[in-house]
Amino acid sequence: MANVLTVEHLTKKFAGLTAVNDLSFTMKERTIHSLIGPNGSGKSTTINMCTGSLPITSGTVKYRDEIISGRVLHEVASRNIGRTFQNLKLFGSMTVEENLMVGMQAQMKDGILKFLVSPASAKAEEKRANERAMEVLDYIGMYKYRNETVANLAYGQQKLTELGRSIMTAPKLLFLDEPAAGLNPSERVEFVKILLKVFDDGIDLFLIEHNMDVVMNISNYITVINFGSKIAEGTPKEIQNNDEVIAAYLGSQFKKK
């Protein structure tokens, strides 16, 4: 299987603090790859560097055969790489439907002049985007909330809206920064179901997550970092039996017999 993501010697320094230190790992095609580690270990910094939200200090990030490190967020996103954020980033004053429609914006190619002189073309383009938004809303179970202003929704629904907006960009690889955080158990179960559906539909997933039930149940491969450096990688079973990971992060209750 080909590599989707190749991270080599990735380093991030904030003044005197080295947040990520010489981190290297690869993510294979058709896998759910998780990055775990204690708070402050550099997980979000890693995702932010991979997606162009944060400039890197040194190292490279490759998406398939193309080096994407050094590119900014929108350039990375335009390569069919989607992401969600640890602290939700939504368009709070807009409806759920509008939030999703913005996700399709980069695929709506008509310029402003064409829009002004050709109302029919603009209408057709808008209709296509709207139909796609309706499909995705149905897919994530948010259709009935489509006309609600996002700021008025519950946290779980806001998370789904953010996921839906990412799906609208037609990603091939999706970075998810703590997708299950803040969800109650039933919401979490629903969210995981949707994530698995997304994966089954051909989108590779890279996730950061603290909930070990989620990580161990859905991941194909896990990379563990502590103090910005990799301490282990392997299948969920291998990670659960890795003494260093147990000591640094998991605790003995996760050890698999």
Partner 1 sequence: MSDKYKKILMVLIPLMIAIAMPLIVTDNYFRGIFIMTLIYIIVVLGLNFITGLTGQMNLGTAGIFAMGSYTTALLSTKLGISPWLTIIGSIIMGLIIGVGLGYPSLRVQGVYLALTTIGFGEIVRILISNFKFTNGIMGIRDIPAFTIGSFSFDDKLARYYLYLVFVVIMGVVAYRITNSKWGRLFKAIRDNYEAVQAVGVDIAKPKVLAFTLAAIYGCVAGSLYAVHMEFITPSVYTFDLSTTFIVMMMLGGIGSVPGCILGAVVCTILPELLRDFGNWYWIIFSILVLLVILFRPNGIISFLKTRKKSVKEGVK
Residues that bind partner 1 (CB under 8 A): 51, 53, 72-75, 77-78, 82-83, 85, 89-94, 98, 101-103, 105-106, 108, 112, 115-116, 119, 122, 125-126, 129, 144-149, 152, 165-166, 168-169
Closer by beta carbon to partner 1, 7 or else 100? 100
Is 209 exposed, middle or buried, given 0-12, 13-18 or 19+ CB atoms closer than 10 A?
Answer: buried
Closer by beta carbon to partner 1, 167 or else 224? 167
Is 65 exposed, middle or buried, given 0-12, 13-18 or 19+ CB atoms closer than 10 A?
Answer: exposed
Distance of CA 141 to the CA centre of its chain: 19
**Closest distance to partner 1 from the beta carbon of 189 (Å):** 21
- The answer for residues whose C-beta is within 8 angstroms of residue 26's C-beta and 6 or more apart is 3, 5, 6, 7
Give me the helix-helix angle, 155-168 and 96-103, nearest 10°.
Answer: 30
**Closest distance to partner 1 from the beta carbon of 169 (Å):** 5
**Closest distance to partner 1 from the beta carbon of 172 (Å):** 13
**Closest distance to partner 1 from the beta carbon of 80 (Å):** 9
Tell me how far apart the alpha carbons of residues 55 and 51 are, in angstroms, rounded to a whole number: 10
Closer by beta carbon to partner 1, 90 or else 192? 90
Closer by beta carbon to partner 1, 101 or else 222? 101
